[in-house]
């Protein structure tokens, strides 16, 4: 069955401004203040201003998403690219609070910001944090469990770390704890974070550091009393609509208001090679009533850590294993045969369709992702086809993770944030699950 939707340009690249629920006391040492309740953040688009056309914005998103994929020989894996996250969060650090802006990344763990004295730092909009001017700054001892959780560390001058990202950007510094302030008045005490003094690469230009929301112990969500977070991304039509991020115990709270009759829950899967990522099991894909002729092994998480499927809010488009993407393209062309296909790549996307001159809406088939645990995630047309009336095209908001539009094996699949719009997406690190609840995110 095909579903019509208006011709509009979908774009999700966000900046986050934070508001919070009242703080309550907590017995947990790692976080104080909001740890029991959590906090709420309002999301807005990074590229909402300027004179960019819709396709120019989408092309930029495709470029950023491509950097999330690192190809080496026959092994294809997705690694964190510093600065490629689609969200920024504004907060303050220290006593008295010093404001800074950081990239929010669901694909990494470490929380860090640039600190004085800085040997090699990149330009940032706010002053570089000076720990000497904060009365609450405290170095993390090398005996700390969080110090042991670092992938590379030494104890020559405290708990020192070196973090490398997929675009070969690196950050080095010393671990500490600090007071973080959200919305100007709600504080979180003893947050373990990195005080970075040596940064290399071009990947950090969007913010003053990173806030990791990955599955590892160093991330902000793991340091909450209840390690859970959710977001609800509105459909982007070029207007001023905002989206929502919920952290901590309140992360599933809105679910009671919106109902869960169509809630889809699937288990998280662990990949020792990429422990931060939110892996799920993708068993197959249907377009309309047609199941794509793709073997389950196309999405298999292999013993060497390659393959598999992750849910990632920091990637705009969805990237499928080459075999699956090739099958999807061919079936979509078949079912939308009334429109001329454009595979020139001029838009930066693999497949577009030419629209009739006077078209106000188009009908596209429903896309269903068959997930582990018997969960079927149904995506309406606007969650995977991007239409721009001014350019007269409608484009598939997906790509191949295997270096080409056709075959190829071993590619990781990434479910991007366009495919997650108008859903409450709940990440629960206690239950090891992700839930999708169809939601009108304008009303959250």
Among candidate residues 67, 65, 155, 163, the one with its CA nearest the CA of residue 109: 163
Same-domain pairing of 268 and 221: no
C-alpha separations of 373 from 154, 260, 267, 431 in Å: 42, 17, 7, 14
What's the mean pLDDT in 216-221? 92
Tell me: pLDDT of 74 over 90.
no
C-alpha closest to that of 42 among 18, 14, 20, 21:
18
Residues 273 and 162 in one domain: no
H or E, element range at 168: none
Please give the pLDDT value at position 12. Answer: 32
pLDDT of 236: 60
* Range 349-376 average pLDDT: 91
Query: Is residue 35 pLDDT above 50, yes or no?
Result: no
Q: Which residue has the higher pLDDT, 25 or 162?
A: 162
pLDDT at 208 over 80: yes
Q: Look at residue 239 and tell me if it is in a domain.
A: no
Q: Are residues 354 and 224 in the same domain?
A: no
Q: What is the pLDDT of residue 387?
A: 83
Supply the range of the domain harboring residue 411: 260-443
Label residue 73 by pLDDT band (50, 70, 90). very low
Residues 117-165 have pLDDT tens digits of: 999 988 888 899 999 999 999 999 999 999 999 988 889 889 999 988 7
DSSP 389: T
Side-chain half-sphere of 173: how many Cα atoms within 13 Å?
30
pLDDT computed for residue 88 by the predictor? 74
Task: Give the mean model confidence (pLDDT) for residues 393-417.
Answer: 75
Is the model more confident about 353 or about 360?
353
CA distance 426 to 421: 13
Q: Which of 150-154, 172-176, 300-304 has the lowest mean pLDDT?
A: 150-154
Q: What is the DSSP letter of 77?
A: E
Tell me what percent of the chain is helix, strand and coil, each rounded to the nearest 5.
Answer: 15, 40, 50
pLDDT of residue 3: 57
222 and 354 belong to one structural domain? no
Average pLDDT over all residues of the chain:
80
240 occurs within a structural domain:
no
Q: Tell me: do 278 and 335 sit in the same domain.
A: yes
- Determine, yes or no, domain membership for 254: no
Predicted local confidence at residue 410, as pLDDT: 55
What is the structure's pLDDT at 432?
Answer: 96
Tell me the CATH number at 377: 2.40.70.10
Which pair of tokens denotes residue 206? 């969007």
Q: Say yes or no: 412 and 265 in one domain.
A: yes
Instruction: Specify the higher pLDDT residue, 20 or 404.
Output: 404
Model pLDDT, residue 346: 72
pLDDT at 104: 78
Range from 97-106, 166-175, 251-260, 267-276 carrying the lowest mean pLDDT: 251-260
* 224 & 266 share domain: no
Q: How many domains does the chain have?
A: 2
Same domain, residue pair 208 and 354: no
- Among residues 27, 49, 439, 6, the alpha carbon closest in space to that of 253 is found at 439
Closest CA to 396 of 349, 339, 363, 340: 349
Same domain flag for 323 and 362: yes
Enumerate the active-site residues: 105, 312
The per-residue pLDDT for range 176-185, each reduced to its tens digit, is 999 988 766 7
Q: What pLDDT was estimated at residue 117?
A: 94
Domain-located, residue 294:
yes
Q: Could you tell me if residue 5 is inside a domain?
A: no
Q: Which residue has the higher pLDDT, 409 or 270?
A: 270
pLDDT at 175: 97
Q: CA-CA distances (angstroms) from residue 293 to 76, 213, 326, 368?
A: 22, 35, 10, 14
pLDDT for 98 beyond 90:
yes
Q: Examine the domain organization and report whether 138 and 281 are in the same domain.
A: no
Question: In angstroms, rounded to a whole number, what is the distance separating the alpha carbons of residues 257 and 77?
Answer: 38
Same domain (yes/no): 42, 191: yes
| Residue 252 within a domain | no
Res. 437 pLDDT band, cuts 50 70 90? very high
pLDDT greater than 80 at residue 53: no
Kindly indicate the confidence band of residue 76, based on its pLDDT and cuts at 50, 70 and 90: very low
Q: Does residue 230 carry a pLDDT above 60?
A: yes
Instruction: Work out the percent of the chain whose per-residue pLDDT is above 90.
Output: 41
Q: Would you place residue 404 in the very low, low, confident or very high pLDDT band (cuts 50, 70, 90)?
A: very low
Q: Please say which residue of 181, 215, 232 terminates a domain.
A: 232
pLDDT at position 16, please? 38
In a domain, 406, yes or no: yes
When pLDDT is averaged across residues 271-290 and rounded to a whole number, the result is 95
* pLDDT at position 140: 96
**For the residues 240-264, what does the mean pLDDT come to?**
74
Same domain, 330 and 397: yes
Does residue 354 form part of some domain? yes
What's the chain's Rg over C-alpha atoms?
22
Please give the residue that has the higher pLDDT: either 13 or 41.
Answer: 41
At residue 169, the pLDDT reads 80
- pLDDT on residue 417: 85
Tell me the C-alpha distance between 330 and 133, whole Å.
Answer: 60
């Amino acid at each position: 069955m095909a579903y019509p939707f208006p011709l509009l340009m979908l774009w999700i690249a966000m900046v986050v401004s934070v508001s919070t629920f009242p703080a309550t006391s907590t017995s947990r040492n790692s976080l104080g203040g909001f740890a029991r309740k959590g906090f709420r953040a309002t999301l807005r688009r990074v590229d909402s201003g300027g004179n960019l056309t819709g396709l120019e914005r989408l092309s930029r998103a495709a470029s950023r998403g491509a950097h999330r994929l690192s190809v080496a020989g026959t092994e294809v894996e997705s690694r964190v690219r510093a600065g490629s996250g689609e969200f920024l969060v504004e907060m303050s650090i220290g006593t008295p609070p010093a404001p800074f802006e950081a990239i929010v990344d669901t694909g990494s763990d470490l929380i860090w910001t640039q600190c004085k004295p800085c040997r090699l730092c990149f330009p940032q909009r706010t002053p570089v944090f000076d720990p000497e001017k904060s009365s609450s700054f405290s170095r993390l001892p090398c005996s700390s469990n969080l110090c042991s959780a670092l992938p590379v560390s030494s104890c020559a001058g405290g708990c020192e770390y070196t973090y490398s990202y997929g675009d070969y950007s690196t950050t080095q510094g010393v671990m500490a704890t600090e007071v973080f302030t959200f919305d100007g008045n709600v504080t979180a005490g003893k947050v373990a974070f990195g005080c970075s003094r040596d940064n290399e690469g071009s990947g950090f230009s969007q913010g003053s550091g990173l806030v990791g929301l990955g599955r590892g112990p160093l991330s902000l969500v793991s340091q909450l009393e209840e390690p859970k977070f959710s977001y609800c991304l509105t459909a982007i039509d070029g207007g001023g609509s905002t989206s929502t991020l919920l952290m901590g115990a309140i992360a599933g709270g809105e679910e009671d208001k919106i109902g869960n009759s169509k809630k889809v829950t699937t288990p998280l899967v662990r990949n020792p090679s990429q422990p931060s990522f939110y892996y799920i099991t993708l068993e197959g894909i249907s377009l309309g009533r047609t199941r794509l002729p793709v073997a389950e092994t196309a999405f298999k998480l292999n013993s060497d850590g390659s393959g598999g499927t992750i849910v990632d809010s920091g990637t705009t488009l969805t990237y499928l294993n080459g075999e699956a993407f090739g099958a999807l393209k061919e079936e979509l062309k078949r079912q939308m045969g009334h429109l001329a296909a454009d595979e020139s790549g001029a838009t930066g996307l693999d497949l577009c369709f030419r629209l009739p001159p006077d078209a106000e809406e188009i009908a596209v088939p429903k896309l269903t992702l068959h997930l582990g645990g018997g969960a079927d995630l149904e995506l309406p047309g606007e969650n995977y086809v991007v239409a721009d009336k001014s350019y007269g095209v409608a484009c598939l908001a997906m790509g191949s993770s295997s270096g080409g539009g056709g075959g190829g094996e071993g590619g990781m699949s990434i479910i991007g944030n366009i495919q997650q719009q108008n859903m409450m997406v709940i990440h629960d690190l206690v239950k090891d699950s992700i839930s999708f609840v169809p939601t009108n995110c304008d009303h959250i």
